[in-house]
Amino acid sequence: MTKEFDLINSPLFGTHLIEASAGTGKTFTIAFLVLRLLVEREMKIGEILVLTYTNNATDELRRRIRTFLKKAIESITSENEVEKTFEALRDKYKGDEKASRFFSDALRDFDEAAIHTIHSFCRKVLDDHSFESNRRRPEEIVSDQSPWIGELLADFWRRHLYPLPMEAFAILFNKKKTFLSDIQKLAIKIPKDPITQLEDEIEVKTPPTAFSLRKRFEELKDLWQKEREEIAGEIEKAKEVDVKSFGNLLPSLESFFSSNFAFPLWEEIMKFDPEKKLKKDATILTHRFFLLLLDFKEEAKRFQREVEEYYPSLLYDLYLTLKNELPRRKLKEGIYAFEDLLVELYRSSQRVKDAVRKKYRAALVDEFQDTDPIQYEIIRNFFDGEDSFLVFIGDPRQAIYSFRGADLFTYLTAREGLSQIHTLSQNHRSTSGLVEAINTIFSRHDETFVFPEVKFLRSSSSGNTPPISWPGESKAPLEFWYLEEADTDLITSALASEIQRLLSAGSQGKILIGEKPLSPDDIAILVADRYEARDVRAKLKQQGINCVFQRMGYLFETREAKEILRIIRAVLEPHRSELVRAALATSILGFTGPDLLGREEETYYQDFIRYRTLWEKDGFLTMFRELLREKEVRKRLLSLPEGERRLTNVLHLGEVIARAEEKERLTPNGLPKWIIRNMERDSSSQNEYELRLERDTGAVRISTIHGAKGLEFPIVFCPFLWKTKKKGKEPDLIRYHKREDASWKPIFSLRGHGEGKERARKEAQSEDCRRIYVALTRACFRLYVVFVGKGKEERALNFILGLPDDVTEENFRGFIQELSQKSGGNIAFRYITHEPDESLLPAAAPHYPFSLQVREPPDISRRIETMASFTYFISQRSLEHVEDIEADLTPNTPPPVGEVDAIFTLPSGVEMGIFIHRIMEQISATHLDEAEVLAIIDRNLRFFGHPAGWRLPLWEMVKRVFNTPLDGGGKITLSSIAPTERLAEMAFTLPMGETTGELLSSLFNESPIGNRLNKLQLQITHGFLRGFIDLVFRHEDKYYLVDWKTNHLGYTYADYAAERLEGVMQEHLYHLQFHLYLLALHRHLKRTLRGYNYERHVGGVFYLFVRGINPTQEGRTGIYSALPSREIIEKMEVCLLEGNGK
């Protein structure tokens, strides 16, 4: 039995449910109950727990309760007139000194107020009672666990899908979509809480094998290749009898047998059945090929059934992997996701519950319809009792967040078990006419929200809304617009014209809200998603109406995100001209073709080198702000269409990336991968990186229905409620609820069929109806709803109104007239067509007082200078001499049978080279600290996704490299070089003159590589030499350069002996590389070091083949050193850099 909630006199003990309709003041009720608890139960402000579900909601509750305390004190201590809402409070506590003291104490101690989201509450309890809960404190709590899930799913894909036969994978992909990205989408739908039950156990099946299928395929293919002419001849005869059935069979067979796999089968082959097709003469196809083809078809069908039966088993393995392995991995990494906090508190001991109940004597739960089962169990177990006061307040008709885990059926279960159920039915938001119109619409039948347990509650208006004056036409607060067929352009045009008319009337003082003229920010347009918002926004902009979308979408899906990624890549590798040009060509930097071909090109590269240096020194945000300032990005973007929106995105991205750099301790080279990972995430459930508003003052607001929940707007347009969600293929994973006694149990199904499928369909339909309820209850004064007559699928709006899917204009007009009568004339009808309507006239097209002319194309005939590097040089070798710079030579010895040093078992390749380079450049301590180096190794192992088993071999490698003497005298070790005496990744860019392979060969004519250089097909007229030196260090006033090499030369240290290294250096032209690097170092020291002398200040080069360095071995393994003469360096300087080679 339900009754209206008595806010002033209701008891403050026990457990209560307050079912509040839209606009009835849920937040007001909670704040008022806090005041009563302070006085009547003599509670302190910190003993009253208030829970809600978003940070914004907690801020609003905190603000509202603080304001109530101030007004409560004023209302009971002052003789001044008080607001109507506080009259009852004054009547109850007037002159009560104790009440005044309690309110004052609460205001003084308001910092102790316990107002939390459910997740922050769980975290606080677990932190406060970690000893009682036997909980290991996590190192980090993350809002996004996708990196760990992604790593887990990649392992799952490699274990379960990669080994499948190609034919099985083809079937799964065509039927179910089973790429890694598809598996990730499936994983999102799998519940990870301990309450949701799996519908039934799945029989674990072994993966299908294609041996029999391939054997038949090979027999058939072999016969086809041997006797094709005879087979084709019989098919041609069959075409004469039945061209429709056999016309495409021959080309289908040709294509099919050109493949090496038995799948996918062509449609014509699957339809092939000569006995059914050749009714006149079934003896035409007599070749045994066709009998084998029929047998193959049957085997293919059997194999396909086997694969499809294996699929539920695959999903079951995925379910178990996420359920069991994901928590283990997160525990090992020392992280918690928000959902883990809930599970941890759900499983906490009775001691924790008793301690929390002792601390909080009352708990008020806002937006209870958005609770999930585990949250409800936590709240009920902690606070449900005779001596405590627990209040749930919510509106089941506004439960629209199932995609975030909110569960309407948790609310229904709670209501079934409670005896003290109340309602709030007085609407403080809308006018009486609009409230009556809404009552009429949602009272059409008893199952407006599909399930009879979710009933519509009629509301009445409090009459507190300010008066509104409206022009002389129809004053019905709810107006339906009808059009026969869906036409987005017509709808948005009518919408824009009506808004323009309203704003014009407001500016003339014809529409007043109270005494204030109607303004753009009094109008809201509610849509389902950003795609609908885009259509509306484009039309409003076209009509010159300022508007803003309050939930523009996902930050990393914007054009600006892609462009900033290009800019970051250019800053990281400023020596790559193609990356720098790509960055300059973005709309953010705004360089045109002629700009890129200008004579100041060198300065562009110097700028990006300087940005990288600034980034490494002061962090991303400092560099990014400097780039925006120097390139005048703000001024440029604001001059473009949508400039304010675009500038907001750029600034938001810069802030987000900088925060990620600091929070996740990302290296500069790790940032691009982090950005790409966010670009690839499913944006539908991401709120962390939603776009910010560029500005919302003086603008019509466009909002999603989900984003508008809890808000109110004077005038609301709902242009697309008639739409239905597009139906994709039937889902394999479904979640639904089953009624058991007085509760609803959440069920998860891996099969997606049967009773559960129909139940899930009804639950989705019910949420669509609730979404419409939320949309229609946002308006204060005026509401516009578009209705489309023709429809093929069941539509929620039609279901609510009790109308069929297809409704003619005449029938709908009569229907609205009926509703208008029932609502007291508060519902009106308007027919929308392409014919102009005087009340919906669009604005005239803007007139531009200038003409447009075609710009003459710029002259781009000037030769582009070359940006050259060592990699560029060796890439110019003739084809028979091309070698990858980091390619490994064939190991000198085969893999041994016995034990080998673990460092030789690590894989080779470019990615491994990058990985080890990153580790080496991040080690900066003078004396190696094991914990610090292992932390660097661990961080890079996680970032690159390499096994944790590499940890100790890499640590041993680092120790050997840094502690092994590099020189013959044993004086120089890297661990002895102070951080101030070393520079990692030293970048250089030097101007080049004319350079050819012949010129390089002449410079090195006495070197073993002279002949090899002559074969370089190199021709540089003008350009730049650029590169990065891995490490430069100073020892006893001499400068040395180091280059890390990860080449895999063999499985013994003998493979890294000096004579072996000399061959590698020649084979890869590393001699040329270190001469170029020494040339750059020479030029730098010549300009910056006073009294510089090559012989006195340059110590030489060390090429460290890091796998092979071991101080315990005889001789110096893995270390190649050299000191070129001053003459060769100076000769290179003259010939290459000054262009005097001739």
Backbone angles phi, psi at 275, to 5 degrees: -65, -35
Closest CA to 823 of 549, 563, 475: 475
Domain contains 849: no
H/E element holding 369?
none
Mean per-residue pLDDT for 535-552?
83
**Do 1016 and 1096 fall into the same domain?**
yes
**Do 826 and 902 fall into the same domain?**
no
Among 213-227, 250-264, 513-527, 772-786, the minimum mean pLDDT is found in 250-264
Q: Which residues does 222 contact at the CB level (< 8 Å), separation at least 6?
A: none
Above pLDDT 90, what percent of the chain?
Answer: 24
pLDDT of residue 885: 35
Domain contains 572: yes
**Do 898 and 928 fall into the same domain?**
yes
Higher pLDDT, 879 or 1120: 1120
Closest CA to 815 of 833, 800, 826, 802: 802
Q: Are 179 and 145 in contact (CB under 8 A)?
A: no
What CA–CA distance (Å, rounded) separates 757 from 735? 9
Domain boundary among 662, 685, 708: 685
**Do 119 and 27 fall into the same domain?**
yes
**In the sheet that 468-469 helps form, which strands lie side by side, from edge to edge?**
468-469, 512-513, 516-517
**Do 1056 and 967 fall into the same domain?**
yes
Residue 728 has pLDDT above 80, yes or no: no
Closest CA to 998 of 987, 1008, 1010: 1010
Mean per-residue pLDDT for 1086-1103?
90
What CA–CA distance (Å, rounded) separates 994 from 986? 25
Domain contains 762: no
**Do 392 and 415 fall into the same domain?**
yes
Domain contains 853: no
Domain contains 747: no
**Do 999 and 1030 fall into the same domain?**
yes
CATH number of the domain within which 510 lies: 3.40.50.300
Domain contains 382: yes
**Do 832 and 907 fall into the same domain?**
no
CATH number of the domain within which 1049 lies: 3.90.320.10
**Do 132 and 278 fall into the same domain?**
no
Highest mean pLDDT among 627-631, 646-650, 718-722: 718-722
Q: What band does 844 get if pLDDT is binned at 50, 70 and 90?
A: very low
**Do 221 and 304 fall into the same domain?**
yes
**Do 200 and 314 fall into the same domain?**
yes
How many separate domains does the chain show? 5
Domain boundary among 384, 401, 424: 424
Supply the mean pLDDT for the chain: 81
Give residue 181's domain range. 149-333
- Identify each DSSP E strand in 838-904 by its residue range: 866-868
Q: Which residues does 931 contact at the CB level (< 8 Å), separation at least 6?
A: none
Domain boundary among 635, 657, 685: 685
**Do 372 and 496 fall into the same domain?**
no
pLDDT digits (tens, 9 = 90+) for 1037-1058: 899 999 999 988 888 888 899 8
pLDDT of residue 74: 84
pLDDT digits (tens, 9 = 90+) for 992-1009: 777 776 777 777 776 777
What CA–CA distance (Å, rounded) separates 946 from 940? 8
Helix 350-359 with 373-383: angle, nearest 10 deg: 70
Domain contains 213: yes
Domain contains 722: yes
Helix (H, G, I), strand (E, B) or coil at 831: strand
What CA–CA distance (Å, rounded) separates 452 from 553? 35
